[in-house]
Amino acid sequence: DSGVTQTPKHLITATGQRVTLRCSPRSGDLSVYWYQQSLDQGLQFLIQYYNGEERAKGNILERFSAQQFPDLHSELNLSSLELGDSALYFCASSVKLGRGGDNEQFFGPGTRLTVL
């Protein structure tokens, strides 16, 4: 158990809909990362937040948005869903911004999104 929690574990929805994925980082971790992993594909970095502020953006679609709240939990909002958005969505947290050789990301169990 990494200490990172994600809800829900599974989500099934229809095309065109909007969903919200939630992540609670490890106690004390200030940085949160979101990743997308399609079937049999590698992890794709979406976005990073540090202490409530956006710090880095990856291959995140305009239909997707995220935020980190004062209590440090984060939400990833996916709208106008398409079939191709079906994937595992992972959240990870780390203590720092991602700097330093000893900084490690701890991953949550993921949310499996199925768009029908």
Partner 1 sequence: KNQVEQSPQSLIILEGKNCTLQCNYTVSPFSNLRWYKQDTGRGPVSLTIMTFSENTKSNGRYTATLDADTKQSSLHITASQLSDSASYICVVSAGSNYQLIWGAGTKLIIKP
Site string for partner 1, 24-43 (x = CB under 8 A): -----------------xxx
Cα torsion 17, 39, 10, 46 to 10°: value is -70
Select from 64, 90, 113, 115 the one that contacts partner 1 (CB under 8 A): 90
CB 92 within 8 A of CB 108: yes
State yes or no: residue 3 binds partner 1 (CB under 8 A).
no
Question: With 0-12 CB in 10 A as exposed, 13-18 as middle and 19+ as buried, what is 16?
Answer: exposed
Three-state secondary-structure class, residue 83: helix
Select from 3, 15, 100, 114 the one that contacts partner 1 (CB under 8 A): 100
State yes or no: residue 104 binds partner 1 (CB under 8 A).
yes
Q: Which residues bind partner 1 (CB under 8 A)?
A: 2, 4, 41-45, 56, 88, 90, 92, 97-105, 107-110, 112
